[in-house]
Amino acid sequence: MTELDFQFFDCDNHYYEALDAFTRHIEPEYRKRAIQWAQLDGKQRLLVGGKVNRFIPNPTFDPVAKPGAMDEYFRGRNPKSADMNQLFGELEPIPAAYRDRDARLALMDEQGMHGCILLPTLGVGMEQALLHDLDALAATFRAFNRWMDEDWGFAYRERIFAAPYITLCDPQNAVRELEWALERDARFIVMIPGPIATAVGMKAPGDPMFDEFWQLANDSGITVTYHSGETYYSKYLTAWGEADYIMSFQSAIGFRTLFSGNALQDTFANFLLRGHFHKFPNLRMASIESGSEWVFHLYEKLTKAYGMIPHIYKEDPRETFRRHVWVSPFYEDELASLLQLVGQDHIVMGSDFPHVEGLAVPASYIKDLQNFDYTPEQCRIVMRDNGIELSIRRPA
């Protein structure tokens, strides 16, 4: 176990959803249109909108792969060319800490973890599968959030900060969900990046039709997190001979590892172009489990765009980004260059525990920071102070 001289705050922790996470609180009229379980070939499968969903190969998560099983793979090291089954290794019965908040607190104590943002595993892959039925999509995540509140809470013991999932597909529903979450002391919300499917067509998340939602987020001081998952960009992959959906871990092989389309980069680029952060100057956003490579690409484009057309920006958009956005890099990223680009106060740690692609020991994140010559003070700021700051609402 890695020993630290401080308790850290992990901005990328996950639960494995309970079997009834989407069904316990679903409104009866949407039961067959939303998410259901089915027995197919002797296995439990998820039906999403009436179709078998393959985002997670085993959506029961029991048994489950051990944390960090694919750490070396995601560092670019697989010299024996092992396949996915070999990389996953021996599975284990699902530990209680992945589904029970008190067991999780006990585990956090063992890990030296002060607090964490707790995020979906299955949940970030469901929105796109329900775009054909926006009412059912909105109902699905209303049900999901009520399960989350019941099982985890949004600020449990001021240590576990589960983030309700907000879809903007119905702007008024999004406002009501955010109001509901704020009443229950939510400190974070989670969304997936990319354009939004609405009843009047595809819209950018910064479109004026969502202004009421963003005004509430701005005024309340809640932190908005964007997490990787299935985005609308999957639709574009069919033109390259790929499936139009993500099957987790299959996305870590083949063309998807090379595809340059980045919904998160384009989401922030669009926000900056639209002056979103000047319109809502109290917004704080964090990028989670999306790495930091996209930040460098975005800065290159912003540098050129600002040089060409400075008159359309109220200030250098790179400065706007630095003020409003926090980045959780992959631990295998180029962390020294990121420090120069966004500064120590806007980098947050994320171990992705207990996922296979994350760290088996979250505190070991410090080793990667130290490998890039982060000072002890910078390690503490990134691994503790910044996350704690984001967990405290900052009302306008």
Alpha-carbon separation of residue 253 from 79, 267, 321 (angstroms): 15, 25, 31
Alpha-carbon separation of residue 16 from 65, 97, 348 (angstroms): 12, 9, 22
* Structural domains of the chain, count: 1
**Residue 260, exposed/middle/buried by CB under 10 A (0-12, 13-18, 19+)?**
exposed
Higher per-residue pLDDT: 76 or 321? 321
Sorted by sequence, the CB contacts under 8 Å of residue 77 that are 6+ apart come out as: none
Which CATH number does the domain housing residue 377 bear? 3.20.20.140
- pLDDT at position 247: 65
Distance (Å, rounded) from C-alpha 132 to C-alpha 169? 11
Calculate the average pLDDT of the chain. Answer: 94
| pLDDT tens, position by position, 62-94 | 999 999 887 787 787 877 787 777 777 889 999
For residue 395, whether the previous peptide bond is cis, meaning omega lies within 30 degrees of 0, is no
pLDDT of residue 4 exceeding 70, the answer is yes
Distance (Å, rounded) from C-alpha 329 to C-alpha 190? 17
- For 67-106, b/e burial (b = at least 16 CB within 10 A) is bbbbbebbeeeeeeeeeeeebbeeeeeebebbbbbeebee
For residue 171, whether the previous peptide bond is cis, meaning omega lies within 30 degrees of 0, is no
- pLDDT at position 78: 77
- pLDDT at position 243: 75
pLDDT of residue 331 exceeding 80, the answer is yes
- For 313-345, b/e burial (b = at least 16 CB within 10 A) is beeebbebbbebbbbbbbbebebeebbebbebe
pLDDT of residue 252 exceeding 70, the answer is no
The whole domain housing 169 covers 8-18+55-390
pLDDT of residue 61 exceeding 80, the answer is yes
Closest CA to 116 of 56, 23, 188: 188
pLDDT of residue 202 exceeding 90, the answer is yes
Task: Note whether residue 40 is domain-resident.
Answer: no
Average pLDDT of the segment spanning 320-334 = 96
pLDDT of residue 250 exceeding 70, the answer is no
- pLDDT at position 395: 97
Alpha-carbon separation of residue 245 from 53, 137, 208, 286 (angstroms): 9, 17, 29, 25
Q: How confident is the model at residue 342 (pLDDT cuts 50, 70, 90)?
A: very high
Average pLDDT of the segment spanning 227-256 = 76
Q: How confident is the model at residue 42 (pLDDT cuts 50, 70, 90)?
A: confident
Sorted by sequence, the CB contacts under 8 Å of residue 56 that are 6+ apart come out as: 46, 121, 122, 125, 248
Instruction: Output the pTM of the full model.
Output: 0.95
Distance (Å, rounded) from C-alpha 355 to C-alpha 120? 11
